[in-house]
Amino acid sequence: MTRHITCPTCGSCNVTQRNWAKKLFGVLGTAAGATGGFAGTIRGAQIGMTAGAAAGPAGTTAGGLAGAVLGGIAGSAIGCELGTTVGKKIDQHMLDNFVCAFCGNAFTEASA
């Protein structure tokens, strides 16, 4: 069951969420995850090269590239998920995340 948020000033139901912290921390988390995932790319490339060695030099190259790409993607995805989770909590508890489209009032969920 969804709860409808109404503006505490004018009572309008035309309320939107800004989600500024969620967006910002999602981007920062993705960048941090990609940077941290660099170590994962090195290890992923090593594992891919070892796994692809049975197929010869082409397998070693393809395995190394695949391992590196997957390591970077995994790091970015995990960083993005953690960043958006932190940002969502900040939006909910610290920022005036809701804004009324009718009167322009910004408010928190607790005051709605």
SS3 of 26-87: the string is HHHHHHHHHHHHHHHHHHHHHHHHHHHHHHCHHHHHHHHHHHHHHHHHHHHHHHHHHHHHHH
Residue 27 confidence (pLDDT): 95
Q: How many residues are there in the chain?
A: 112
Q: 95 is written with which tokens? A: 């920022």
pLDDT in tens, 59-101: 788 877 887 788 888 889 999 999 999 999 999 999 999 999 9
Is the full-model pTM beyond 0.85?
A: no
Cβ neighbours around 106 below 10 Å, total: 13
pLDDT in tens, 23-52: 999 999 999 998 887 777 777 777 777 877
